[in-house]
Amino acid sequence: MSQAMEDLFSVLRFPSISTDSKHAGDVRACGEWYVEKFKGMGLEAQLHETAKHPVVIARNERKEGRKTVLIYGHYDVQPVDPLNLWDSEPFEPVIKDGKIWARGATDNKGQHMAHLLGVEAMLKEKGELPVNLIFLLEGEEEIGSPNLPAFLEERKEELACDVIVVSDTGMVAEGEPTLGYGLRGIACCEVKVYGPDKDLHSGVYGGSVANPATVAARLMASLHDEQGRVAVPGFYDEVVPLEDWEREMWQSVPGMDDADLLAVTGSPALSGEEGYSPAERIWGRPTCEVNGMWGGYQGEGSKTVLPAEAGFKLSCRLVPDQEPATILQRVEAHLMAQAPEGVRVEIEMGHSGKAYVCDPHSEEGKAAQDALKDVFGKEPVLIREGGSIPIIQSMKEILGVDTLMLGLALPDCQIHSPNENFTVENFEKGIELCQVLLEKLG
Ligand code: BES
Ligand code: ZN
């Protein structure tokens, strides 16, 4: 195995699950690994404390007259359950069928390690980089980066840069270089419906009191209309419509046909907001999705119970210029207005972040397009992403800098799911891409 692959395997072995406090030590240990690695590469590196998981910052010597590039990534990962659906252990990486299998292989360890190793290769070969370089790796992305905005605010001067580079997004299809120039925002909440003060016999009392599970189902159903639009009043008020050039460009994006999406999602049919193509629905339109729901008996067989409570988790994906707090207020007002007498509804607000969009044709955007073309041998596709990386908009607001998103995740890489994987090919191409890009930006 190459040293580069050994290094990737080393980081993949850390179960750095940021949402699970039992793994806080693993997140930290993973961060410490990077500090040592960066120091070994001749960079100045340090682990910085936050209220939760630490941030790793590494840099070369800052020289006048050179562009400053900040490469961002996250070394935390999502939980691994359900474990029984994995074909191999999530934190014991293996290579099979040309892919590296492990939690974090694509999201995001594999992708940012490609940049780290690209920088290492350049330093080894030339002893110098064409740019002033800052690496910023955080351990809280998968929980919404709660401490990073304040951290950036405190260190604005130190982190001043000309452009940010991130590989934490997707390629539309294998072999199709993709430059992301937007991300959807996100706004999460949890809804709880309380009825009787204990679970009741559904025969003895059913029919006489409201059933919280039925109410929760009605509330969830009230979120969309027959046209697949979000039915929350005011939900679309600030939405910036898609531009004509985008709609046109996205008509022929590889990997986004109905057949491609049916295959990759495994769904029997596509569904969504009427009047928009799947690419437009995912990249340019806001949504409201139920991410989880509960209430009543879940075990084997039947138990005739009228549950005391039920609930669900929601997340809205947002587009420019939707404001997360405003959207959550409107969702709350809508749900409260739908709630019948006989239950108490409580809504707890979760994490959120704004959408991001930039100009893919800027000077740096063109450099990124050129680098993608050189490495993959094809003109890149320009897309916005359906997923969210809220800190990218925060970096725009705090550091005043745009981000180039050079996605290396493939549609079937299964991020956040069992059997996450990263192709060896994209790992190697990523290492090359970083070097080509730094040359062009320098
Ligand atoms: N890398 C993803 C985001 C992503 C994936 C963007 C694929 C585009 C294509 C990131 O790690 C992620 O999962 N973000 C979360 C948001 C966060 C606030 C929990 C998301 O999108 O759900
Ligand atoms: Zn993720």
Q: Nearest residue CA, atom 15 of ligand 1?
A: 388
CA distance 271 to 101: 31
Identify the burial level of 294 via C-beta atoms within 10 angstroms of its C-beta, where 0-12 means exposed, 13-18 middle and 19 or more buried: middle
**Residue nearest ligand 1's atom 19 by CA:** 142
Show the tokens assigned to 228. Answer: 């697949």
CB neighbour list of residue 147: distance below 8 Å, 6 or more residues apart: 50, 51, 52, 53, 140
DSSP secondary structure string for all residues of 157-171 = TTT--SEEEE--SB-
- 387 pocket-lining for ligand 1 (C-beta < 6 Å): yes
How many Å apart are CA 193 and CA 175, to the nearest integer?
Answer: 47
Out of 316, 394, 415, mutate this one to test ligand 1's pocket (max ligand atoms within 8 Å of CB): namely 415
Ligand 2 center to residue 416 CA distance, Å?
Answer: 6
| Protein residue whose Cα sits closest to atom 9 of ligand 1 | 169
Is residue 246 within 6 Å of ligand 1 at its C-beta?
A: no
What distance in Å separates the CA atoms of residue 389 and residue 332, rounded to the nearest whole number? 24
How many helices and strands, by DSSP H and E, does the chain display?
Answer: 12, 18
Q: State residue 38 phi and psi, 5-degree precision.
A: -60, -40
CB of 409 shorter than 6 A to ligand 1: yes
**How far is Cα 196 from Cα 207, in angstroms, rounded to an integer?**
13
**Bridging pattern class, strands 99-101 and 94-96:** antiparallel
What is the rounded distance in angstroms from the CA atom of residue 270 to the CA atom of residue 278?
A: 8
- Any idea which ligand is nearest the CA of 166? 1
Q: Which tokens go with 183? A: 């991300």
Residue type, 414: Q
For the chain, the residue count is 442
| Ligand 1 centroid to residue 50 C-alpha, Å | 21
Separation of alpha carbons 224 and 216, rounded Å: 14
Contacts of 436 (CB under 8 A, 6+ apart): 371, 374, 375
Give the residue among 383, 380, 384 at the shortest CA–CA distance from 366: 380
107 CB within 6 A, ligand 1: yes
CB of residue 232 inside a 6 A radius of ligand 1: no
Q: Mutual orientation of helices 3-12 and 24-40 as an angle, nearest 10°? A: 160
Cβ–ligand 1 distance for 168 under 6 Å, the answer: yes
Q: Which ligand is nearest to the CA of 167?
A: 1
The residue written with tokens 């209220």 in the block is 51
**Cβ(41) to ligand 1 under 6 A?**
no
**Cβ distance 251 to 169 under 8 Å?**
no
The model carries a pTM of 0.94
DSSP state for residue 77 in the 8-state scheme: B
State the Cα–Cα distance between residues 302 and 184, nearest whole angstrom. 41
For ligand 1, the distance from its centroid to the CA atom of residue 410, given in whole angstroms, is 14
Could you tell me the distance, in angstroms and rounded to a whole number, from the CA of residue 321 to the centre of ligand 2? 23
For ligand 1, atom 13, which residue shows the shortest CA distance? 142
Q: What is the pLDDT along the chain (442 residues), one digit of tens a residue?
A: 799 999 999 999 999 999 999 999 999 999 999 999 999 999 999 999 999 999 999 999 999 999 999 999 999 999 999 999 999 999 999 999 999 999 999 999 999 999 999 999 999 999 999 999 999 999 999 999 999 999 999 999 999 999 999 999 999 999 999 999 999 999 999 999 999 999 999 999 999 999 999 999 999 999 999 999 999 999 999 999 999 999 999 999 999 999 999 999 999 999 999 999 999 999 999 999 999 999 999 999 999 999 999 999 999 999 999 999 999 999 999 999 999 999 999 999 999 999 999 999 999 999 999 999 999 999 999 999 999 999 999 999 999 999 999 999 999 999 999 999 999 999 999 999 999 999 999 9
Domain limits of the chain? Answer: 2-183+355-441, 185-239+286-353
Regarding the beta carbon of 170 and ligand 1, being less than 6 Å apart is answered: yes
Residue 311: phi and psi, rounded to 5, are: -170, 175
Would you give the DSSP letter of residue 52? S
80/228 Cα distance (integer angstroms):
31
Task: Specify the CATH superfamily of domain 2-183+355-441.
Answer: Zn peptidases (3.40.630.10)
- Residue 76 annotated among the catalytic residues of the structure: yes
CATH of domain 185-239+286-353: 3.30.70.360
- Whether 106 lines ligand 1, by a CB cut-off of 6 Å, is no
CA 265 to chain centre: 17
Tell how far the Cα of 324 is from the centroid of ligand 1, in angstroms.
Answer: 16
Residue 137: other Cβ atoms inside 10 A: 30
Q: First vs last Cα of the chain: how many Å apart?
A: 32
Q: Which helix (H) or strand (E) holds 70?
A: strand 68-74
CA distance 265 to 32: 37
Query: From ligand 1's centre to the CA of 222, what distance in Å?
Result: 27
Whether ligand 1 lies within 6 angstroms of the CB of 389 is answered as yes
**Two tokens, residue 419:** 């059997």
Measuring from atom 1 of ligand 1, which residue has the nearest CA? 168
Which of 120, 141, 280, 420 is catalytic? The answer is 141
Task: Tell me which of 18, 107, 349 to substitute to probe ligand 1's pocket, judged by most ligand atoms within 8 Å of the beta carbon.
Answer: 107
